[in-house]
């Protein structure tokens, strides 16, 4: 009995460790992005090498996770999916109970480290949506759509209640993209979007005052330039003063002199824009576009529905990060705590993103064979 | 596309997915292009605007207040200094909650309720980005404690500054005055550009009247600040121009000796060099410590000063008005000669009483029985009232007040200090203006001995004496003799030209008056006070009555304390008599007799002056034939 289990483990491990699984263009894109991130972080952090070192360590950990996950075949991932989804959602419930009455508590303390269970959902959510849609007739029926909607609504609702609207949006988006890619008819999409739009006043009613302030501030940041408007104004000053070619690396005054808040985390894109200008911004966005495009390419090449939907959803939610963060620092979108992938300094974001790319690598390795 | 399919169609699904992916990618690219468009709008279209705002964020002009000019005595002894100190300043716009900050910071740096009240007042007057001082003159403990807690108080900082210090304390309080914190009224009056960053302004004395010179011109620096407003580095500096240094003509040694001579008794003394009007000493007793006012006087200290019975804040030299008594007699005698009403040898019989024809009330001499037959010199020496009653009557009030007015009585002397009193020169016009009454001849009589309506300040009398001593040439008293642009710059003398031609048409007239005043010191009322003094001194005492007489009877009470309570004691003098270099007036608010009480003060002033280089030049060359104990004075006395 034990011998049999041991033999199975060995077989599994050998499979994981022997097959080459890496898509080189995607890996190169990610490496470039990580380099840009570290270089920008060095400037934003005022030349603090410990900050850069810590971030690099996270990248290494993330890369290791990426390699590990890339060797897990999508079929295995698919078989684990319901458990992973249920587990991560359960953790959200635990956080909700533990964090009761303590304001915004998103963290789970494991003793040796703290992590946000909501971060897990960024991956398990599209996995679950893909898992559910995988055996179904596509495009999905109203019933299937409703089920996926429910699967999305439970964790997204829990996260929104933490309250972490930014992550809730990303998680819901990831599930929604799976639905979109599964081929839901355009008119149904239109109908849903219309209903969602009509629900905005209701949502407004349930929002926290600070969340409403963020939206109102976006419309007129100068109304409270030293309070709510400070982030938006200072961020736009940083971006705008960068001009076409930027002030040069390490020469961004807005961040160096602390006018720009949270300039190593959520607002690091403003530092990048200030120092590298429009040329840098367009180049960086192009790099993101390349990575997203490559991911969608991998998705199209994928072997089955599960892999396709998962890869596509991960790729498209990656775009949401970039768009929401960029829109925020450019004063197009309200201030939401969404980091710029691989550039913002921070905890679990880099690790969870790289895990997602690990899944993509695995899907790539198990693509359709054109023979 | 069919609504429903029975079986999964992998190929169809893949194609559907591919289409969706392409649409999705197209949407993503569109989104990224929209984002780039927004960046283009900010970074290209509105670039200039944001560059300006970023520069305004970063670079702030910071005023560098000029260092206030220093004040020295005539020999370069420092009388008003700038010493480094630290104060707590608050930039209102960087304080999230002002009340909470004030409540919490009290535990770190102890604050008086006065400090907080003052701060709140200033807060209302200042702009949000300008720093407002919260507490001046921090102790080292305060600074250390704040340094540890600084992170708790954004917008609050310890700022070094120069504070005024008067090393001689009360000795010069009534001359140099003091500086005080700028208040709301000052802000209205002062040029805001020149006073940016300056916390203090001259409040009284030289500090006030020479404010314009002492203040200097502020400079500025462009500094790079961070979001908390803390300076990161200096980009450009435009140095301020410090205020001019002032050299007073006062000699600190004379000033000190003069102050000491009063021994705390209320009064005033002024010494002037008659050759140029320079004030050598100016004292008002009692005095106060001007340092108390510099960083805001505590209400307890202020109350103590204002309620003290002998009013230490009151500048008697400048603002105290007293009847001059007999000190006016030499001037009046000179008037008699100038108008040709008296010749020096004209005599008057003093019987002890002088009555107007037909009037019941008579005017008395100081001495029962009178001084007998006196000429002008004798009348000055003995201070014979009857002689001056008659002289005043013969002059008439109009000529009397016209003549005395030339010596500066009844108006400001024009000294370089603010706040002088006019005093009262008795005249028909003055009386009509003030009491709507005609002038009575009896009033002319008492005006002849410096009583009645007369009121003069010690400075006014010193001014008049210095004109007399200075060959009749009128000249305003002056405290500042030189200015200097910086410590190493040359001293620029401040000229003090005469205000008109000599008041004396015939120098012989002046000699008669001098002769009388020399006699006062040699053998007259002031003889005892100048025994052994090496120079020939010309002087005149004055014992003015504080209260008007109710009877013409002699007061037989000779008790000194009793008389002191009723009399003002004056002594005026100049020396050397034949070439005067110093003129002194001393006044005691409560002195029994002018010469006895005020004479020694004048002598002390002159002795101290003799010990200085200027005074030493006036000392007669030692003649071997002359005995040591003041032969000159004694010799002159013998000629009388």
Which pLDDT band holds residue B587 (cuts at 50, 70, 90)? very high
Residue A6 within any structural domain of the chain: no
Q: How far is CA B205 from CA A111, B202, B209, B399, B519, in A?
A: 74, 8, 6, 35, 37
Using CA atoms of B398, B404, B406, B408 in order, give the dihedral in degrees to the nearest 10.
-130
What pLDDT sits at residue B357? 72
Statement to judge: residues A282 and A213 lie in one domain? yes
Q: Which residue has the higher pLDDT, A311 or B295?
A: A311
Which pLDDT band holds residue B197 (cuts at 50, 70, 90)? confident
Which residue's entry shows tokens 């599209």? A126
Class of B252-287+318-484+493-621+631-639 in CATH: alpha beta
What pLDDT sits at residue B637? 36
Which pLDDT band holds residue B554 (cuts at 50, 70, 90)? low
Statement to judge: residues A200 and A212 lie in one domain? no
- Which of A145, A173, A206 represents a domain boundary (last residue)? A206
Statement to judge: residues A189 and A226 lie in one domain? no
Q: Are strands B245-248 and B71-72 parallel, antiparallel or unpaired?
A: parallel
> Quick check: B43 and A138 CB within 8 A?
no
- Structure confidence by residue, pLDDT tens digits, B452-486: 899 999 999 999 999 999 999 999 999 999 999 98
Residue A10 within any structural domain of the chain: no
Statement to judge: residues A63 and A152 lie in one domain? no
User: A254, A233 in Cβ contact below 8 A?
Assistant: no
The closest CB to that of B31, out of A273, A300, A319, belongs to A319
Residue A93 within any structural domain of the chain: yes
Q: Which CATH architecture has domain B62-247?
A: Alpha-Beta Complex (3.90)
Which pLDDT band holds residue A34 (cuts at 50, 70, 90)? very high
CB burial string B145-184: b at 16+ within 10 A, e below: bbeeeeeebbbbbbeebbbbebebebbbbbbbbbbbbbee
Half-sphere exposure of B453 (CA within 13 A, CB side): 21
Residue A12 within any structural domain of the chain: no
Query: Under DSSP, is residue A179 helix (H, G, I), strand (E, B) or coil?
Result: helix
Chain mean pLDDT for chain B: 86
Which pLDDT band holds residue B517 (cuts at 50, 70, 90)? very high
Statement to judge: residues A198 and A259 lie in one domain? no
B272-B319-B252 Cα angle (round to 5): 40
- Structure confidence by residue, pLDDT tens digits, B203-248: 999 999 999 999 999 988 888 877 766 777 888 888 899 999 999 9
Residue A8 within any structural domain of the chain: no
Residue A3 within any structural domain of the chain: no
> How much is the average pLDDT of B9-26?
88
The yes-or-no verdict on residue A21 having pLDDT over 90 is no
Statement to judge: residues A64 and A81 lie in one domain? no
> How much is the average pLDDT of B379-386?
90
Statement to judge: residues A360 and A217 lie in one domain? yes
User: B511, B380 in Cβ contact below 8 A?
Assistant: no
What pLDDT sits at residue A103? 47
C-alpha span between B250 and B425 (Å, rounded) = 29
The yes-or-no verdict on residue A100 having pLDDT over 60 is no
ipTM of the complex model: 0.90
What pLDDT sits at residue A114? 59
Q: Are strands B348-350 and B372-374 parallel, antiparallel or unpaired?
A: antiparallel
A293: chain B residues, CB-CB within 8 Å: 25
The yes-or-no verdict on residue B115 having pLDDT over 70 is yes
C-alpha span between A222 and A331 (Å, rounded) = 12
A322: chain B residues, CB-CB within 8 Å: 32, 35
Say whether B326 is catalytic.
yes
Q: Which residue has the higher pLDDT, B618 or A55?
A: A55
Residue A135 within any structural domain of the chain: yes
What pLDDT sits at residue B313? 92
> Quick check: B20 and A183 CB within 8 A?
yes
Q: What share of chain B is helix, strand, coil (3-state, %, to 5)?
A: 40, 20, 40
The closest CB to that of A180, out of B20, B54, B228, belongs to B20
- Structure confidence by residue, pLDDT tens digits, A188-230: 989 988 988 888 888 888 777 877 887 787 777 777 777 777 8
- Identify each DSSP E strand in B150-209 by its residue range: 156-165, 179-181, 200-202
Residues in B 33-62 with any Cβ partner in A closer than 8 A: 35-36, 38-40, 42-44, 46-47, 49-51, 53-54, 57-58
> How much is the average pLDDT of A13-38?
82
Statement to judge: residues A266 and A306 lie in one domain? yes
| Structural domain containing residue A157 | 75-206
Query: Under DSSP, is residue A354 helix (H, G, I), strand (E, B) or coil?
Result: helix
Statement to judge: residues A163 and A232 lie in one domain? no
> Quick check: B43 and A257 CB within 8 A?
no
What pLDDT sits at residue B437? 87
> Quick check: B43 and A239 CB within 8 A?
yes
Residues in B 181-240 with any Cβ partner in A closer than 8 A: 224-228, 232
Which pLDDT band holds residue B106 (cuts at 50, 70, 90)? confident
Q: Are strands B132-135 and B156-165 parallel, antiparallel or unpaired?
A: unpaired
C-alpha span between B479 and B164 (Å, rounded) = 20
Chain mean pLDDT for chain A: 86
Count the domains in chain A: 2
* Nearest in space to B516 (alpha carbons), one of B573, B459, B586, B441: B573
The yes-or-no verdict on residue B375 having pLDDT over 70 is yes
Statement to judge: residues A87 and A152 lie in one domain? yes
CB burial string B46-72: b at 16+ within 10 A, e below: bbeebbebbeebbeeebbebbbbbbbb
Show Cβ contacts of residue A45 under 8 Å, excluding neighbours closer than 6 positions.
A51, A52, A264, A345
> Could you tell me the residue ranges of all domains in chain B?
62-247, 252-287+318-484+493-621+631-639
Counting residues of chain B whose pLDDT is more than 70, the rounded percentage is 92
Q: Which residue has the higher pLDDT, A106 or B634?
A: A106
Statement to judge: residues A245 and A292 lie in one domain? yes
Q: Would you list the DSSP string of B200-214?
A: EEE-SHHHHHTHHHH
Q: Which residue has the higher pLDDT, B485 or B552?
A: B485
Residue A336 within any structural domain of the chain: yes
What pLDDT sits at residue B283? 95
C-alpha span between B403 and B391 (Å, rounded) = 13
Which pLDDT band holds residue B557 (cuts at 50, 70, 90)? low
Which pLDDT band holds residue B592 (cuts at 50, 70, 90)? confident
Which pLDDT band holds residue B550 (cuts at 50, 70, 90)? low
The yes-or-no verdict on residue B448 having pLDDT over 50 is yes
- Which of A206, A236, A255 represents a domain boundary (last residue)? A206
Counting residues of chain A whose pLDDT is more than 90, the rounded percentage is 46
Most B CBs within 10 Å, among A240, A278, A370, to test the B interface: A240
Which pLDDT band holds residue A258 (cuts at 50, 70, 90)? confident
What pLDDT sits at residue B252? 94
* Nearest in space to A247 (alpha carbons), one of A230, A261, A260: A260
Which pLDDT band holds residue B368 (cuts at 50, 70, 90)? confident
- Stated length of chain A: 371
Statement to judge: residues A259 and A165 lie in one domain? no
A316: chain B residues, CB-CB within 8 Å: 24, 28
> Quick check: A257 and B224 CB within 8 A?
yes
Burial of B600 (0-12, 13-18, 19+ CB in 10 A): middle
Q: From the CA of B137, how many Å to the nearest CA of chain A? A: 31
What pLDDT sits at residue A264? 87
- Which of A180, A206, A232 represents a domain boundary (last residue)? A206
């Amino acid at each position: 009995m034990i011998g049999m289990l041991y033999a199975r483990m060995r077989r599994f491990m050998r499979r994981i460790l022997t097959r080459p699984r890496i898509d080189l263009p995607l890996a190169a894109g990610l490496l470039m992005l990580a380099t840009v991130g570290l270089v920008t972080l060095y400037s934003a952090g005022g030349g603090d090498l410990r900050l850069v070192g810590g971030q690099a360590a996270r990248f290494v950990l993330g890369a290791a996770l990426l390699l590990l996950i890339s060797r897990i075949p999508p079929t295995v991932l698919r078989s684990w999916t319901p458990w992973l989804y249920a587990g991560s959602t359960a953790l959200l419930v635990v956080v909700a109970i533990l964090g009761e009455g303590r304001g915004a508590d998103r963290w789970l303390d494991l003793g040796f480290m703290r992590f946000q269970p909501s971060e897990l959902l960024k991956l398990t959510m599209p996995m679950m949506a893909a898992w559910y849609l995988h055996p179904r007739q596509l495009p999905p029926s109203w019933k299937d759509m409703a089920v996926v909607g429910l699967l999305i609504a439970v964790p997204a609702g829990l996260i929104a209640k933490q309250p972490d609207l930014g992550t809730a949006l990303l998680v819901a988006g990831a599930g929604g993209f799976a639905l979109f890619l599964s081929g839901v008819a355009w008119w149904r999409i239109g109908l849903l979007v219309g209903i969602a739009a009509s629900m905005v006043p209701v949502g407004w009613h349930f929002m926290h005052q600070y969340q409403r302030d963020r939206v109102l501030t976006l419309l007129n940041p100068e109304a409270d330039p030293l309070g709510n408007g400070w982030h938006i104004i200072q961020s736009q000053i940083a971006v705008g003063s960068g001009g076409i070619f930027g002030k040069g690396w390490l020469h961004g005054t807005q961040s160096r002199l602390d006018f720009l808040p949270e300039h190593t985390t959520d607002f690091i894109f403003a530092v990048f824009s200030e120092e590298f200008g429009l040329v840098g911004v367009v180049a960086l966005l192009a790099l993101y576009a390349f990575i997203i495009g490559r991911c969608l390419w991998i998705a199209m090449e994928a072997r089955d529905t599960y892999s396709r939907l998962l890869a596509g959803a991960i790729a498209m939610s990656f775009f949401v990060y970039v768009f929401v963060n960029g829109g925020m620092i450019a004063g197009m979108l309200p201030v939401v705590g969404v980091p710029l992938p691989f550039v913002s300094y921070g905890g679990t974001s880099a690790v969870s993103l790289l895990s997602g790319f690990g899944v993509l690598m695995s899907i790539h390795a198990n693509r359709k064979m054109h023979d | 596309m069919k609504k429903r399919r029975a079986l999964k169609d992998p190929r169809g699904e893949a194609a559907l997915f591919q289409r969706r992916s392409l649409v999705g990618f197209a949407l993503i690219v569109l989104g990224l292009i929209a984002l780039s468009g927004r960046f283009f709008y900010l970074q290209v279209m509105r670039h200039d605007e944001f560059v300006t705002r970023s520069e305004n964020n970063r670079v702030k002009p910071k005023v560098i207040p000029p260092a206030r000019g220093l004040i020295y005595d005539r020999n370069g002894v420092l009388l008003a200094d700038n010493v480094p100190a630290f104060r707590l300043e608050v930039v209102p716009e960087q304080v999230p909650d002002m009340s909470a900050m004030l409540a919490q910071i009290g535990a770190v740096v102890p604050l008086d309720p006065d400090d907080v009240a003052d701060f709140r007042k200033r807060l209302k007057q200042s702009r949000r980005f300008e720093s407002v001082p919260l507490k001046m003159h921090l102790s080292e403990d305060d600074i250390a404690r704040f340094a540890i807690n600084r992170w708790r108080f954004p917008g609050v900082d310890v700022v070094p500054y120069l504070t005024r210090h008067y090393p001689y304390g009360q000795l010069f309080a009534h001359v140099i005055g003091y500086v005080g914190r700028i208040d709301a009224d000052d802000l209205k009056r002062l040029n805001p550009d020149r006073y940016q960053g300056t916390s203090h302004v001259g409040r009284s004395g030289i500090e006030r009247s020479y404010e314009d010179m002492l203040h200097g011109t502020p400079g500025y620096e462009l500094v790079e600040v961070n979001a908390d407003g803390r300076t990161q580095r200096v980009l450009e500096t435009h140095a301020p121009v410090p205020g001019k240094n002032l050299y007073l003509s006062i000699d600190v040694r004379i000033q000190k000796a003069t102050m000491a001579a009063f021994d705390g008794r209320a009064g005033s003394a002024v010494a002037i060099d008659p050759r140029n009007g320079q004030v050598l000493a100016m004292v008002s007793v009692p005095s106060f410590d001007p340092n108390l006012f510099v960083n805001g006087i505590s209400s307890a200290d202020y109350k103590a000063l204002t309620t003290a019975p002998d009013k230490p804040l009151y500048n008697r030299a400048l603002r105290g008005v007293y009847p001059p008594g007999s000190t006016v007699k030499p001037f009046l005698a000179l008037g008699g000669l100038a108008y040709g009403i008296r010749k020096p040898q004209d005599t008057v019989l003093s019987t002890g009483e002088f009555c107007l024809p037909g009037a019941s009330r008579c005017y008395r001499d100081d001495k029962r029985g009178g001084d007998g037959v006196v000429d002008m010199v004798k009348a000055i020496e003995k201070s014979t009232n009857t002689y001056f009653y008659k002289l005043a009557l013969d002059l008439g009030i109009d000529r009397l007040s016209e003549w005395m007015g030339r010596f500066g009585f009844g108006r400001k002397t024009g000294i370089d200090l603010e706040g002088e009193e006019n005093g009262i020169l008795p005249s028909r016009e003055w009386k009509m203006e003030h009491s709507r009454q005609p002038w009575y001849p009896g009033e002319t009589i008492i005006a002849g001995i410096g009583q009645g309506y007369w009121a003069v300040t010690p400075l006014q009398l010193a001014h008049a004496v210095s004109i007399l001593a200075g060959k009749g040439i009128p000249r305003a008293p002056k405290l500042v003799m030189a200015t200097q642009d910086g410590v190493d710059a040359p001293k620029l003398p401040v000229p003090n030209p005469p205000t008109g031609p000599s008041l004396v048409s015939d120098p012989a007239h002046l000699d008669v008056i001098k002769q009388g005043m020399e006699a006062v010191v040699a053998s007259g009322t002031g003889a005892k006070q100048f025994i052994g003094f090496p120079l020939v001194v010309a002087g005149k005492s004055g014992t003015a009555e504080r209260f008007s007489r109710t009877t013409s009877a002699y007061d037989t009470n000779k008790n000194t304390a009793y008389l002191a309570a009723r009399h003002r004691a004056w002594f005026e003098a100049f020396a050397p008599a034949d070439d005067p270099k110093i003129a002194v007036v001393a006044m005691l608010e409560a002195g029994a007799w002018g010469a006895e009480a005020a004479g020694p003060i004048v002598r002390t002033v002159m002795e101290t002056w003799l010990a200085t280089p200027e005074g030493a030049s006036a000392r007669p060359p030692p003649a071997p034939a002359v005995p040591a104990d003041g032969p000159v004075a004694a010799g002159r006395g013998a000629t009388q």
